[in-house]
Amino acid sequence: MSRTEALKVAEEAGVDLVEISPDANPPVAKVIDWGKYQYQQMKQQKKNRQSNKQSELKQMRFGLKIGSGDLEIKLRKIREFLSEGHKVKILIFYRGREMAHKELGYTLIDRIVAALEDDAVVEQKPQMAGRNLSITVRSK
C-alpha cells in the first residue's frame, strides 16, 4: 500500500499512521491510535519495573559478646533476608577496649560465614572501618 493510501486510511479511521520499521524494504507502518499505544507501553514498563524489584542491602549488627541463642536468631533473620533476594551487610561493632582484640571479630565473622555456608556467598571480604568490621553476603 502506498504512503498516501495509508495516510488516507488512517485519517478516515481517526487514528495515526506510525512507522514501525523504517529500515525494512518496503518500510513497515501501522495504523494505530498513538495515545493508546503510548499508554499501553507506559503501563508495560511500569509493570516490568515493579516485577524487577531491586534487591536492597539489609544490615545486621553483631556485638563481640553475642550469645549463641542471639546469634542463631540473627542468623535466621539473615537467611530470611537472603531468601527474599536481598544482600546482607554483616557489621560487627567494637566497644571500648574491644578494639585491642580485633581477632575476636574475625573469628566471629568466620563462625557466621560457616553457619551461612549453605545459603550465602561472601561478596566482600572482611573490612575494618573505624570501630566496625563488615562483610557483605548474597544468596547462592
One domain, residues 116 and 66: yes
The yes-or-no verdict on residue 56 having pLDDT over 90 is: no
CATH at 133: 3.30.110.10
One domain, residues 45 and 76: no
Total domains present in the chain: 2
- Rounded to whole angstroms, the Cα distance separating 60 from 56 reads 13
| Span 14-26, average pLDDT | 84
The domain containing residue 103 runs over which residues?
57-139
One domain, residues 96 and 114: yes
Alpha-carbon distance values, 132 to 57, 62, 111, 118 (Å): 17, 10, 17, 25
One domain, residues 67 and 112: yes
Q: By the 8 A CB rule, do 105 and 64 touch? A: yes
Q: What percent of the chain has pLDDT over 70?
A: 97
One domain, residues 40 and 69: no
Q: Note the maximum CA span of the chain.
A: 85
One domain, residues 36 and 71: no
pLDDT in tens, 96-121: 999 999 999 999 999 999 999 998 99
Residue 93: the pLDDT is 94
Q: How confident is the model at residue 5 (pLDDT cuts 50, 70, 90)?
A: confident
